[in-house]
Amino acid sequence: MLDTAPNGKVSNLLNALDKALSAGEVEHAVDLFQADCYWRDLVTFTWNIKTMEGKEQVRDMLKARLADTKPTNWKIAEGEDASETDGITESWVQFETGGARGFGHMRLKDGRIWTLLTTMSELKGHEEPLGFDRPMGAKHGAERNRTTWKEDREAEAAELGYSRQPYCVIVGGGQGGIALGARLRQLNVPTIIVEKNERPGDSWRKRYKSLCLHDPVWYDHLPYLSFPRNWPVFSPKDKIGDWLEMYTKVMELNYWGSTECKKASYDEKSREWTVVVQRDGKEIVLKPKQLVLATGMSAKPNTPKFEGMDIFKGDQHHSSQHPGPDKYKDKKAVVIGSNNSAHDICAALWEAGADVTMVQRSTTHIVRSDSLMELGLAALYSEQAVQSGMTTAKADLVFASIPYKILHEFQIPVYNAIRERDADFYKRLEKVGFLLDYGDDDSGLFMKYLRRGSGYYIDVGASELVANGSIKLNSGVDVKKLTEHSVILSDGTELPADLVVYATGYGSMNGWAADLISKEVADKVGKVWGLGSNTTKDPGPWEGEQRNMWKPTQQEGLWFHGGNLHQSRHYSQFLSLQLKARMEGIPTPVYGLQKVHHPS
């Protein structure tokens, strides 16, 4: 008799899937999927980060990849039970391929697969030394001329990059480069992280004085080493800087601070990069096989060019160079922009006693931090989630299990609820002329972040200052020009100014490829970031994954890594496994390499 309990349903399905896949019967396997199915694969089948949408794409992928992947042993993950809500049966699943162990998540609708997530946990024969396999550290016994851990580390630091080449060079030692570096260290992939700032954490330290993380602690853990339970909910920027510095040290990363990557080029014949770096004033040439740009999606300032900037007599700078409010007491400050940095900077200037005006050109999505935490994040990333047994790894996988094509459908109700809950707050902002939006399709903050990485403010207090007029607002206008002592807006308004801050955001990451490698390579790779949703600043065609992030690009040996702390943690796992496999000479045929869109 057919088992109708959740565990039984999932087991039956997995047995049928196992049988069909083991026998190479693609059609039987495809029959187990719903018509509106999604299969998101993080490296296991595709050696890519790819979502197959619909049965046809699942069929095509299996035809191309099944024989090579050899998946077996599909079962409900050890220690887990399937569950059922509103007709959807969900379960964690585990499986193996010829070369790897995988973990995943499955949702069944009417007995067939609606969503399937398959992720690579580890490469067989190249497992990380964890738990029972952790290193001994001490060498018991007696041995003449033995070296200590410290001496070994010093020897490694002295030779790597000089007498021995790293397999991988990561340009950019912010949280992205650091998290990936930690994973590669555990996988024994010789890696150097090149960072132009002096110390790990400096990319946070150098930001404006008042900055605290906008995301809460549960969302921000680094791989292997979680924040302690007494860590503040919102890390102040210098504190997160110190954590990154400590982490870099204890994770034994080869981190070259005060080192700037000047240029890089790829030799297609030797399949090797030549990376020129300036370290402590000396030029060093590195020859890695793999080059990762972890140079930051919020690191290439977008500074507008306005008439009169050359004659303006006050201070003017991009938000990334803003030193903080201290010297602007009783001064007139004009902040151009209305997203996160603009709000934070306006509030800090107001607190310091400056006369502050925000200039808003177009709409901004605002969501109050407590509402976001309670309605948007609590189920996966909160103290309550921790209490109810949710781990960071599981939370990341649940989030990853929702295909991007339908993620907005899950998000819209959340933001509708937030709009209802904070209706008065939004009304008061509109009353002073603040131009609001909730995303092109009302899907809110996460979708805006994934699609364009901008256009929002997580309110931690500045909105109240805007609503009550403490921060003055000119909205629906652009800057026409600057004079010696003022900013003239497109509607003719003149704002006297001692300080102008351009909180105008950051440029695309493939600009880094153009700067460091060449325009040809940047164009060959195309746009970095965005889903291709055809919404504002995320031009189509639909990609279904974030363009060029953490996966093979059209340029062999070139990778992009970064994003927020959650993404750096989660996707560094899959990028590190792709790099490790290549180092070990494991065949990595990439299925569905993304096409190039929107060159630089």
Ligand X SMILES: Cc1cc2nc3c(=O)[nH]c(=O)nc-3n(C[C@H](O)[C@H](O)[C@H](O)COP(=O)(O)OP(=O)(O)OC[C@H]3O[C@@H](n4cnc5c(N)ncnc54)[C@H](O)[C@@H]3O)c2cc1C
Asked if residue 174 binds ligand X (CB under 6 A), the reply is yes
Measured from the CB atom, the residue of 320 and 401 that comes closer to ligand X is 320
Binding window for ligand X (CB under 6 A); candidates: 120-128, 203-211, 323-331, 544-552: 203-211
How far is Cα 243 from Cα 217, in angstroms, rounded to an integer? Answer: 12
Q: Does 175 bind ligand X (CB under 6 A)?
A: yes
Least separation in angstroms between residue 369's CB and ligand X is: 10
x/- track of binding to ligand X for residues 241-260 (CB under 6 A): -------------------x
Identity of the residue, 108 or 299, whose beta carbon is nearer to ligand X in the bound complex: 299
CA distances from 221 to 179, 215, 240, 323, 385 (A): 10, 11, 11, 27, 15
Start-to-end Cα distance in the chain = 60
Of 51, 564, 576, 578, the one binding ligand X by CB under 6 A: 564
Residue by residue, DSSP assigns 444-506 as: HHHHHHHHTS-SEEEESSHHHHHHTTSSEEEES--EEEE-SSEEEETTS-EEE-SEEEE---B
- Residue 194 binds ligand X (CB under 6 A): yes
Region 32-61 residues binding ligand X, contact defined as CB under 6 A:
none
Q: How far apart are CA 46 and CA 551, in angstroms?
A: 10
Q: Output the CA–CA distances (angstroms, integers) from residue 56 to 34, 35, 53, 105, 590, in the order listed.
A: 11, 9, 8, 21, 19
Contacts of 85 (CB under 8 A, 6+ apart): none
238 forms part of the interface with ligand X (CB under 6 A): no
Of 102, 172, 190, 325, the one binding ligand X (CB under 6 A) is 172
Helices (H), 303-437: 340-351, 369-371, 383-387, 392-401, 404-421, 423-431
**Cα–Cα distance for residue pair 29/167, rounded to 1 Å:** 39
DSSP state of 254: -
Q: Name the token pair of 57.
A: 């794409």
| Residue 244 Cβ vs ligand X, minimum distance, rounded to whole Å | 9
455 interacts with ligand X by CB under 6 A:
no
| Window contacting ligand X (CB under 6 A); options: 60-68, 150-158, 195-203, 544-552 | 195-203
Selected from 213, 275, 375, 465, the binder of ligand X by CB under 6 A is 213
216: three-class secondary structure by DSSP? coil
**452 in contact with ligand X (CB under 6 A):** no
Position of tokens 């020859």? 287
Considering the complex, what minimum distance in angstroms separates the CB of residue 183 from ligand X?
Answer: 14
* Contact string (CB under 6 A) for ligand X, positions 309-348, x = contact: -------------------------------xx-------
**Which two three-digit tokens encode residue 533?**
């949703």
Q: Which of 44, 115, 295, 463 binds ligand X (CB under 6 A)?
A: 295
Ranges within 364-403 binding ligand X (CB under 6 A): none
Out of 17, 82, 264, 294, the only residue in the binding site for ligand X (CB under 6 A) is: 294
Query: Angle CA(199)–CA(202)–CA(206) in degrees, nearest 5?
Result: 145
Hey, which residues between 490 and 509 contact ligand X (CB under 6 A)?
Answer: none
- The residues binding ligand X (CB under 6 A) are 171-177, 194-197, 203, 207, 211, 213-215, 260-261, 294-296, 298-299, 340-341, 516, 562, 564-565
